[in-house]
Every structure is written in structure tokens, then in C-alpha cells.
Amino acid sequence: MSATLSPGGTAPVRVMLCDDSATVRSALARLLEADPAIRVVARAANGQEAVTMLAGLPAAQRPQVVLLDLEMPVMDGMTALPLLLRQSPRPAVIVASALTQRGAATAMAALRAGAADYIPKPGAAGGGLNDPAFRAEILAKVKGWARMGATAIGPAAASPRPAMAAVPRPVRPPPQLPMRGLRAIGIGCSTGGPQALATLVQGLTRPLPVPVLVVQHMPAGFTAMLADHLDRLGRLPCAEARDGEALRPGRLYLAPGNRHLLVEAAGTGMVARLSDAPPENFCRPAVDPMLRSLAACCGGHVLAVILTGMGQDGMLGCRAVAQAGGTVLAQDEASSVVWGMPGAVAKAGLAQALLPPAALAEQVLAAAGFPAGAMA
């Protein structure tokens, strides 16, 4: 039987829900199917049920996305994950974890094991599953990963290409690399960011001569686990930034959840500053204040990179970097789970190139002075 088309004329995204709570499964189904572009095709109470159901469905009816709870009886999500990923066609698995340090650690372990993404379960105090921010995030991730497909997970070889012709002409000519006097690199991301960040960081095969600052929209507690996740890749030492610490070359500093990350001049170097200033673009940490502070501290000696994410956080910060004479790169639409943040930068004419994360890593190395032949 053919699927009913969504109003846009395409078949709805097929989703499986796997959660031991019948109440949660029903609430998630209502939330997702309120969007005509999504259809829940299966519901399972534990990992074993999910694996059995998935194997029993005809290939054309199998879910493109599985929302997988991590803590369940009979078979938990971490045990089920590799079994689900062995199915063909392979679904994109988004794991759901508690808003706790333990939940964050398990979610990052799931990403290393092949999960496409994670989503923190909202607490009752924040409105639970009815929280508008949670609704927007889960819809964006489900539709984004269905469009991307599970095969998009992980590093992908790609060649740099200039900004697409459909995008307004950049405000400046293509980047002249290496950048003379590069002092810092600032990276911003949100929805789909952990996987994009991991791919970019894995591509940094040479020690960088400058510090790298990263803002990923993520709850407090999760950022420490993300820093550990990136540190385990073995490329750049990575940790949450600490207020007042000197920023050292070749290290990656991640903004802690619920704190803005800024920089401040200190002699010939820089120190990190953490701020409780109000959210910007509904986010704390936000990308814009980090990039503004880099532009103010380093002038045009800044490379800004904007990865996948909802909204337009980072666009105004990139404008400050560009106006100071720095270089701006952004993730391309095809490789982005959500092309909101990088798209806003591109449409503003600020992106000097649009690239997938692996190719962005090559450009970062080139900006730091490593020729293409030395990047393997």
C-alpha cells in the first residue's frame, strides 16, 4: 500500500518509537504526527521489541528514524543500538537520555557507537514533552536525519567548493589561505552539531598553532560529556573552558552549558571569560557573543566556522569577524541536518565558502598554514 503523501507532495518520514513508558510513547506519537510530514509506523516498549519489529517490517515500510530511549527493561537502548544499526535499510537512531550527567555520558557513548544524534528528555518543570523548544528540536532532528540518511553519519570525503551560486555573492573574495597572523578559531553549532563537530575535529590531523573556541547549543552537564567525547578522538585536547584560564594553542575550549564563552586580552595572549549575561538568540551559550569578543580581541586574525543548527545564532558574530577583516566559512546545505545557522551566514553574504565538515577541516588546516599535501 502506498504511503499517504504529506501536503508538500512527499511521503511522510517514517518513525519508530522505543520507550518503556506507554504514556511517553503516546505523547511522542501525538507530538510527531501533529506534523503531517511525519508518520509513526511502529512503537516498542523495549529494545528487544524494537529489533524484532524492525526485522519483521517490509523494507519499504521500515522506519527511517528510530527514537530510542536508553534506559529500559528487558533490553536497554545501548544494547539495542548496534542491532538496530545492522538492519537494512539502516535507520538513523536518535537516542533519548535523561537531563543528568549520567544521561549525558550515555548519550555521548551512543554517538560513538553509531547513533545519529541525541535528545535530552525535558523535565516536568520545563513543560515536559509539551515544551515548545523540545518540540522544535525533535521535529528538526527527525526530519533532518531522515533527509540525511544514516549513511551520512561519520566523516565523509569531500572536496572544497565555493559558495553556491544561488546564495548572494560573498562580501569579500574567496579566502586567501594560509591566513597571515591567525590568532584564534571560533566554531558555532547547534542541531546536528555533535556529529558535525566530531567529523571536523577528526579531520584536524596537524597540531594547530592557535586556540579553538566552540559554542554548541547544549544543556548544562552535557557540554562536559561532549568535551570528553571530542577529546577521545585524539586530535585536539578538549575540555570545557574555565573562567580566567589562559588559552593555549592547539587546544579546543568548549563553552559550558548555560554560560557564554568570551575572550579577553592578557599580555600577548588571551584568557577565557565565562558570562551569565542574558541569552542571545534564546541561547546561552550563544555563538554571537563568542565571535564578537574574538573580533574585538584579535581583529581580522580570526577564522569563524558555522556548522549545522536551527536559527541564526552566529550570523551577527560572523558579520563582526568579517568587518574586522577575518575569514568566515560555513557548512553546506547538503551535509547540514538543519541549514538554519550556516544558511543565515551564507544568505547574508558572509560565508567565503560552503563545505561539508571534512572539507572544512581541510580549510582550517590551510588557514593555519598546512599545505594540502601535508593534511593526510
User: Strand (E) positions, 98-211?
Assistant: 117-120, 184-189
C-alpha–C-alpha distance, residues 146 and 217, integer Å: 21
Do 135 and 145 contact (CB within 8 A), yes or no? no
Do 169 and 349 contact (CB within 8 A), yes or no? yes
Distances (CA, A) of 5 to 11, 14, 142, 308: 5, 12, 17, 27
| Triad 185, 186, 188: Cα angle to 5° | 150
Question: Which of 19, 69, 76, 190 does the annotation list as catalytic?
Answer: 190
- Name the pairing type of β-strands 269-275 and 117-120: unpaired
Radius of gyration, alpha carbons of the chain: 21
69 CB burial (10 A radius; 0-12, 13-18, 19+): buried
Question: Which of 19, 69, 76, 217 does the annotation list as catalytic?
Answer: 217
C-alpha–C-alpha distance, residues 277 and 274, integer Å: 9
Residue 185: what are its φ and ψ, rounded to 5°?
-125, 130
Amino acid residing at 64: Q
Q: Could you tell me which residues come within 8 angstroms of residue 58 by beta carbon, excluding any fewer than 6 positions away?
A: none
Residues in the chain, overall count: 376
20 has catalytic annotation: no
Do 57 and 80 contact (CB within 8 A), yes or no? no
Do 212 and 236 contact (CB within 8 A), yes or no? yes
C-alpha–C-alpha distance, residues 12 and 123, integer Å: 29
C-alpha–C-alpha distance, residues 82 and 368, integer Å: 38
117 has catalytic annotation: no
Question: Which of 76, 117, 288, 313 does the annotation list as catalytic?
Answer: 313
313 has catalytic annotation: yes
Known catalytic residues are 190, 217, 313
